[in-house]
Amino acid sequence: MAELSDVYFVDGTRTPFGRAGEKGMYWNTRADDLVVKAMKGLIERNAEIPKDRIDDVAIAATSQTGDQGLTLGRTAAILAGLPQTVPGLAVERMCAGAMTSVTTMAASIGVGMYDVAIAGGVEHMGRHPIGSNSDPNPRFVAERIVDSGALNMGVTAERIHDRFPHLTKERADRYGMLSQHKLQAAYEAGKIQPDLVPVAVIGPDGQWGLATEDEGRRPETTMEGLATLKTPFRPHGRVTAGTSSPLTDGATVSLLASGAAVKEFGLAPKMKLVSFAFAGVEPEIMGIGPIPSTEKALAKAGLTIDDIGLFELNEAFAIQVLSLLDHFGIADDDPRVNPWGGAIAVGHPLAASGVRLMIQLAAQFAEHPEVHYGLTAMCVGLGQGGTVIWENPHYTGKKKKQK
């Protein structure tokens, strides 16, 4: 008889993230090969788990076509060398694809159906721009169900600025600049590199190379430079390339396990799942989605926002993060929020990003035994938000001494 189980985030790996397009490092690399590479790295790091004990593989992609179609979880599992007895599936919730892969596999573990699962996502935005394979129903616009601008993420970001005029362009610019600076500082301190799986790539000149770092970083960013950028989504608008996540290619994967599997294989989990929630909002202002999903996840966990000691929030746009922080009364530059920078700097390969948030939170938990709970959250296209709350297994209950 199956029994309810705790769910643990055992480990996570990802490829370095690359700029999308012909000049990006993954232009000549297949999407499925990116997720296979990340998965091989994860499996090698966790060799104590027999491959045939993996119960399922869930891999997300927003544009499920071409080399990131064909039931990605199953095809990637086979290509990564897992036994053919291991099944797999594909997941699609736009930007929250990998997050949904995790929560879907976690739910299966939680109700006792699975013991071990792999969950992640991939997006090759160079090969498959968002919406390139979609055909939105004309009723959305004809019957005024959804405004046509809701399908343009930048337009939705401008509308958050409209709704909350105190969240100014200057505040968004400063947030974007600090994201770049924090990511660079994390790189210089060696925080990001341990969870990156190098990828062999073929450059535009036909020469082989090795992708070892995130490609889109702009550590030289200044407020003066950001002030000069164009506002592509609206004349005289407030959203610029400096306050938006760039178009990105990359893949992420995670290893999840039940309490019984943790004991059986002697695993050292990096996080324990507490709760998760998804919520819907008006598609026209999709960026506020993480606010209600966070409120739902906190209620499910019996926690308040004050219990959260670390936040990993996906920076689709600076204004989207600022709206959540403002709602919960958190300062723009609160050190608990994205301490190693975010998607504005590192990139946002849509369906892959949710696990990137988890990988960074897990690494920060190890450094902060004084933090009991952490949170990963993101906005989702067409008006959704997703939030997962995690418990720190390293928590000691002692406050960190001030230097």
Instruction: Inform me whether the pLDDT recorded for 284 exceeds 70.
Output: yes
Over residues 25-42, the pLDDT tens digits come to: 999 999 999 999 999 999
> Could you tell me the pLDDT band of residue 401, with boundaries at 50, 70 and 90?
low
Of the candidates 60, 58, 63, 67, the residue with the CA atom closest to the CA atom of residue 27: 67
Question: Which of 265, 297, 332 lies at the terminal end of a domain, its last residue?
Answer: 265
- Shared domain check, 341 and 298: yes
219 shares a domain with 159 = yes
Q: Tell me, yes or no, whether 399 lies in a domain.
A: no
With cut-offs at 50, 70 and 90, classify the pLDDT of residue 399.
confident
Whether residues 218 and 293 share a domain: the answer is yes
Residues classed as catalytic: 95, 348, 379
pTM of structure: 0.97
Name the band, by pLDDT with cuts 50, 70 and 90, for residue 150. confident
- Residues 252-268 pLDDT 10s: 999 999 999 999 999 99
User: Greater confidence, 400 or 310?
Assistant: 310
* Exposure of 5 in the CB half-sphere (CA atoms within 13 A): 25
365 and 226 in one domain?
A: yes
Residue 306 burial (C-beta neighbours within 10 Å; 0-12, 13-18, 19+): exposed
Only one residue has tokens 């159906």, namely: 113
Confidence of residue 287 (pLDDT cuts 50, 70, 90): very high
Number of domains in the chain: 2
Cβ proximity of 14 and 197 under 8 Å: yes
Q: What is the pLDDT of residue 183?
A: 98
**Position 2 in a domain:** no
Q: Is residue 363 domain-resident? A: yes
Closest listed residue to residue 157, CA positions, set 318, 372, 18, 294? 318
| Residue 203: predicted pLDDT | 85
pLDDT of residue 147: 85
**Looking at residue 400, what is its pLDDT?**
66
CATH number for position 65: 3.40.47.10
Q: Which domain holds residue 84?
A: 7-128+246-265
Mean pLDDT calculated for residue range 170-186: 98
**Among 265, 300, 322, residue at a domain's last position:** 265
308 φ, ψ to 5°? -90, 120
Give the model confidence (pLDDT) of 49-104 as tens digits: 999 999 999 999 999 999 999 999 999 999 999 999 999 999 999 999 999 999 99
The 10s digit of each residue's pLDDT in 330-348 is 999 999 999 999 999 999 9
